[in-house]
Structure 1
Amino acid sequence: MKAKRMIIMLVGSAVVFGGVFGFVGFRNTMIKQYFANMPKPVVSVTAATASLDDWRSTVFAVGTLQAVNGVDIAGSLSGLVKEIGFQSGQEVKRGQILVRLDSDVELGDLRSAEAELALAHTSNDRNVALLRSNTVSVAALEKTQAELKVKQAKVAGLHAQIAKKSVAAPFDGVLGVRKIDLGQYVQPGQVMVNLQDLSLMLCDFTVSQKDLSAVSVGQNVRMTSDAWPAQSFDGAIAAIEPQVDSKTGMVTVQAKFPNAGQRLRPGMFAKIEIDRPATERVVTIPVSAVSYNLHGDAVFVVRDGDKGKIAERAVVQLGDRRDGTVVVKQGVKPGDIVVTSGQVKLENGSPIQIAEDDPLKAPAKTALK
């Protein structure tokens, strides 16, 4: 009896669990069939047509600005600061005295040397007159002439030393922040103030040797800076380094930019654009149509499906970008319609509907009556 009862219980359990598992399997199968047969939602997108345009390729580079003349003003002699003839940030002219150091000792030595020079002149003139009457020898005259030259050299040296006690601006420019005070003792080479000529700015940058054919001296270039993002500055290439860096394959180029408004300052980072001389016919699309990822850039191209328009994913190879458009070297043909917004909701083969108006665009303003 016990064995029979056990068999009945096992058979009952098998029937119950079999029913449960069968129901779960049936439910999963029906869910899969429902989702497989469920129609994909139509996604509303905007689109644009790939066009064939004349494109002038651009060489891009990054450089650093420097003034055409810029120097840290420093004296070549030591001494006490007796006079400061400038203010921080002041515009100065070439030759304007900026700093005078104490030169009282040198002036005293100069007066003594000038007295000795006058005596040497008198002695030399006397010997010249006596030589005519054969009263003195030629050797005595030569000695006084040598002494005269020594005294003249000493006086000239003291004049030069006193002149170096006055530090002047070597060129026109704008001064920086003063770094010395009255009465301060300065050493030779100690920086007193920085001077920059902001009338013309130079920009040093590098280009690849493969782009060397696209640059030449006198060629026009454009420059933008983060300090003035909405403004571009026009300049010209001033010099090209004759040697290519064998380690990097880069060539140093220098461009010059007029700076009438003094908006550009030394040390600024600059973005350089150099247009290639020749144009070419290329396929262009809006930048917004491109989806960027690690597996490759792609766009969704509008195709005709069985029940309407569908989006087909196409991997593209891109080129230069400019003014919201990008060059497509491979993957899109002229006349293809590409999706410009709504790509996030799309997958390959998704049905789409092209909206007439771009939702990303701001509504047009109506004129006031």
Structure 2
Amino acid sequence: MATANPRKPLEQRGRKLSIHVVTWNVASAAPPLDLNDLLHLDDQDLNLDMYVIGLQEKNCGIISLLNDTAFEDTWSSVFMDVLSPLGFIKGNKGGVNICLKLYGYYISIINCHLPPHMTNNDQRLEHFDRILEMQNFQGLDIPNILDHDLILWFGDMNFRIEDFGLHFVREAIKNQCYSDLWEKDQLSIAKKCDPLLREFQEGPLLFPPTYKFDKNSNNYDTSEKKRKPAWTDRILWRLRRKPQDDPHIPRLLAPYFSLSQRSYVSHMMYNISDHKPVTGTFDLELKPLVSVPLITLMPEGLWTLENDMLISYTLTSDFLSSPWDWIGLYKVGLRDINDYVSYIWVGDNQVFCSDRLNQVYINISDILETEEQFLLCYYSNNLRSVVGISKPFKIQPCAFMGADPPKDDQPQN
């Protein structure tokens, strides 16, 4: 699940974006009441642009699936209760891979849950390669995932700590001697020899192993199995190899696309699962390859509840429209793309069309009078995404259309 903050205009955030990534194996538990620490909401200086939230082992029983079909699932609901008042909107993609095109750059976001147990390390590495091989978007003008400018890969990767015994590992954790354990971490070992995995970067593991805990405690596994602690929950990233990496090509004066990690931490206060959540906060700096949105939406004239509302929108020359595209009218503070108060199919309701400028009417007769602000979103059926958002505006209440009330000195019939 990905959420983006539309509050900042393009010109203010076109060169630097802050992204907060969350990975958590929630072990079928219900959401906690307090998300402030997990989402860094207490840090007023973060000024985040995007939250990327990946969960594993979210309850997917038949009753849960039926509830999720009819209603929003509880985890999404709790996260959006906190984030929607801050201006964030939930992404509409499902599955393990989300592909974004951001200012002309391709970004892939992968949430995974690899095979467990100490002895299945080869299987984990095989799954890692297989996931990359399978992520080809057939029939769409999207390059192979390895040609994307950025891959953010996170999840319960289940890599364990080899050789060292349980007592040694627990003593190293107790004394915060994490560096003693790094050399036996299976993921760190694999990165040295696996040519594909070697291209992924990871911040230093300066937090305690995040698995396995007794639920509702900060105690590592005290069951009969007494599983050895491990850093199973990880956040990796990979930047595409750029032409300037070739020694025979002169290096550019400044990088056009770079990612730096600001923090990489676990959150020990959360006890609902046998895993602790892990978050990474990143600064993405880029030189935009495109500066104009695919769609620019403009409400025309004074919008009132008395009439259908006229919408003008322009398209860039490379945008491929579809008769199944639609424009939704939303209240500011929407949680999801399905939270529209009204919508219109652009193919059925055009009143004017030129090479670039189009106009449609949208019916607002069912909207109640309110002081709230609204905005318009254009949804592309081909891209399965919102490709244009208007500036906020107000809809004026109906004017009084009856005759003036009679005055006391006028004759009555």
Instruction: State the TM-score, normalized to the length of structure 2.
Output: 0.19
Max radius of gyration: which structure?
A: 1
Bigger relative contact order, structure 1 or 2 (CA pairs below 8 A, ≥6 apart): 1
Instruction: State the TM-score, normalized to the length of structure 1.
Output: 0.21
